[in-house]
């Protein structure tokens, strides 16, 4: 019984540590930046791998975590998930062209991110 409890405690500790690393560590792997030309997706916050121009963006909306699962709708099933956190509000970017028309992001502050995106797109 003692071995079982020890393994259980180690398993719980591992899951908690892995969750914390995924929640806070992924944001250093890749991130987003709103530039003058569009929404930049970066790796290691150094290399721009994709820029989505403002002309491509049809809409941006905040989604709760319960609405981004692939089984909630066909739109979510085919969405490209570029979230760098496990929980928090998500932002759905819809594009008018491209292979992935829906892109799901997880900025630190979803409403501020959408406001910045809208303001930058009006320039």
- As given in the structure block, the two tokens for residue 106 are 């997880």
- As given in the structure block, the two tokens for residue 97 are 């062209």
| Sheet architecture: strand order including 47-53 | 30-34, 38-43, 47-53
Pick the range with the lowest mean pLDDT from 3-7, 24-28, 95-99, 116-120: 24-28
Q: Are 78 and 100 in contact (CB under 8 A)?
A: yes
Residue with the bigger pLDDT between 107 and 71: it is 107
Give the domain 2-122 fold.
PH-domain like (2.30.29)
> Any alpha helices (H) in 1-123, and if so which ranges?
2-29, 74-77, 110-122
d(CA 32, CA 52): 11
* Opening angle at CA 55, ends 54 and 58, nearest 5: 85
Q: What is the pLDDT of residues 36-50, one digit of tens each?
A: 889 998 888 789 988
For the chain, the domains span: 2-122
Residue with the bigger pLDDT between 15 and 82: it is 15
Full-prediction pTM beyond 0.85?
no
Q: Are 111 and 91 in contact (CB under 8 A)?
A: no
- As given in the structure block, the two tokens for residue 8 are 């259980």
Residues in a beta bridge with 30: 43
Q: Is the pLDDT of residue 22 over 70?
A: no
């Amino acid at each position: 019984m003692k071995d079982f409890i020890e393994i259980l405690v180690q398993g719980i500790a591992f899951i908690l540590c892995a969750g914390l690393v995924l929640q806070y560590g992924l944001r250093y792997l890749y991130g987003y930046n709103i530039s003058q030309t569009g929404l930049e997706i970066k790796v290691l916050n150094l290399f721009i791998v994709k820029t989505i121009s403002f002309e491509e963006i049809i809409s941006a909306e905040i989604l709760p975590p319960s609405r981004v699962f692939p089984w909630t709708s066909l739109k979510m099933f085919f969405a490209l998930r570029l979230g760098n956190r496990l929980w928090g509000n998500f932002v759905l970017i819809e594009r008018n062209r491209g292979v992935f028309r829906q892109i799901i992001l997880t900025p630190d502050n979803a409403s501020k991110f959408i406001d910045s995106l809208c303001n930058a797109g009006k320039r």
